[in-house]
Every structure is written in structure tokens, then in C-alpha cells.
Homo-oligomer: A and B are copies of this chain.
Amino acid sequence: MAADERVGLDGDEVAVRAVNSSFYAAFEARDFDAMSDVWEHSDRVVVTHPGWPSLRGWARIAGSWEAIFRNTPFIQFVLTGEEVAITGDVAWVTLDENILQATGGADGDHDELAGAHVAALNLFVRDGATWRMVAHHGSPVGPGG
């Protein structure tokens, strides 16, 4: 049965999906410690936030998360089209981030909700029993996309 073939998810794929979910949970909770746990702490890690230039190394990436969390009073992700690929000790997840977020006014008083659509590629490397994020690349999808 075709359905049966889909039941037995590979253990690695389960683990990769779990850490990918942890990334978005940390983002929604704006929890820096949880976000820190997701990432490999090394010089080779890279993040490209939508519309930003790429930032390399955990120190700069950590700073970007602190800035984003400080300036994001609310953010919610609905993830669609999630696909996982694994080769050896490397896994990558591609998905669509459908985002609802508060865009604070200058005085923080009049937050408004805005939607955004981001195409993301998340890259993970196996670290013993877990997987660590080594790259997150999110890009804005235009209205014509």
C-alpha cells in the first residue's frame, strides 16, 4: 500500500524536522537561549535574513537575533511546503514561511499586524545525537512571484 510506504519516516528525517521546528518555535517565542541551542557555534555558520546581506559567524548571527527579537513584539509562522533532504551528516529543509507579525510604531504604541511571504532554506549538520543549524537563508517573495 502506498500509504504504508509513507508511514516509516526515517529517524534522521524525524530529528531534522524536530530541530527545524525548534528553530521556528524559538523565533516565535523570541527566546534567545532556545535559538542559541539550535545553532552550531562556529565561524562557518551564516544567516541571510530577508533583505539583509549575509552575516557570518555565530557572534554576528547571535547579535542579529537579539536585535530582531528586541524589535519584534509579535511574530507567527505558518509553514507550508516543507521538504527535507539528507546526505550523510548534512540535511537541508526548504519551506515557505507565511508570516504574521507586528510592526511597531516608533513609540511602540501603535503596533499593526502585517503579513509576509518568505522562501527559506535551512541547513543542518549532525552533531552527535542532534543536528545543528549552520545556515538559514530567507528571502522575500514578491507580489509577482
Chain A residues near B (Cβ < 8 Å): 44, 46, 48, 50-54, 56, 81, 83, 85, 87-90, 92, 94, 96, 117, 119, 121, 123, 125, 134-135, 137-142, 144-145
> CB < 8 Å: which of B87, B123, B135, B141 contacts A53?
B141
> CB < 8 Å: which of B50, B54, B117, B141 contacts A94?
B54
The complex is assembled from copies of this chain, and their number is: 2
Contact B92 A123 (CB under 8 A): yes
> CB < 8 Å: which of B52, B85, B140 contacts A44?
B85
Q: How far is the CB of A106 from chain B (nearest CB, A)?
A: 16
Contact B46 A94 (CB under 8 A): yes
